[in-house]
Amino acid sequence: MAEFVGTFALIFVGVGAIAVAGAAAGEAGLLGVALAHGLTLAVMISATAAISGGHLNPAVTFGARLAGKISTRGALAYWAAQLAGGLAGAALIELVIPVSELRATGWGVPAPGSGIPLGSALLAEAILTFFLVFVVFGTAIDRRAPKVGGLFIGLTVALDILVGGPISGAAMNPARFLGPALVFGSQLQFTWLYLVGPLAGGAIAGLVWRYLLLEPETATSA
């Protein structure tokens, strides 16, 4: 339930912020969109950390699985909850924001920027997600981490969007793409990009922490 609610909030606020910013300014304001995503994750990760660890992202769960921080069964349950939350968030935002505003801003579905090669967008997603999952480990998963994970994870998402939004859409999260893409039937041709890029970045970060940075006794298999 914690993973469902947290991911629901991310998609509901993220898609809604893009639509509202677009309606007010003629185009989605990058700073506002970045802050909307970052602040939502900061509060929701803080709210769910004691219950589920506040992953709210299949790429984070994948990295945690490879680092031995969650069982395969647990990861599958998290992925199901995260996807369900993403779908619910996109479905309900459609009942709140006028369809014309959602359509004008591409339904809030991440997509490569105009003129950006798919290879560049894929690499951007992998690198940005690596940053995100690296910070998740360093501020939340590692037992030596300061108890400020939600804040700095949210800030990482915001800074990633500031640089990556115009390049790849800066999803960094398969659920952030799949929720609105499936509900609105938009940009589904890029599904592979928003699965491969974030999962690769999350996997690399998880393996770096497991084999290079975590204390040996904290990296247990499950």
Give the pLDDT confidence of 80-91 residue by residue, as tens digits: 999 999 999 999
- Reply yes or no on whether the pLDDT at 218 is more than 80: no
Which phi and psi angles does 201 have, rounded to 5°? -60, -40
The phi, psi pair for 119, rounded to 5°, reads -65, -40
pTM: 0.93
Q: Which long-range contacts does 35-39 make (Cβ < 8 Å, 24+ apart)?
A: 35/158, 37/10, 37/13, 37/154, 37/157, 37/158, 37/161, 38/154, 38/155, 38/156, 38/157, 38/158, 38/159, 38/161, 39/154, 39/158
The residue with tokens 């922490």 is 209
- C-beta atoms surrounding 220 within 10 Å: 11
Q: Of 27-31, 64-68, 148-152, 159-163, give the lowest mean pLDDT range.
A: 27-31
Residue 170, φ and ψ in degrees, nearest 5: 50, 55
Cα–Cα dist 21/16, whole Å = 8
Residue 136 to residue 64: CA distance in whole angstroms: 9
User: What mean pLDDT do residues 124-133 have?
Assistant: 98
Other Cβ atoms closer than 10 A to 155? 18
Query: Helix, strand or coil for residue 153?
Result: helix
Q: Which amino acid would we find at residue 156?
A: T
Q: Using the 8-state DSSP alphabet, how is residue 115 labeled? A: T
Structure confidence at residue 146 (pLDDT): 82
What element of type H or E holds 26? none
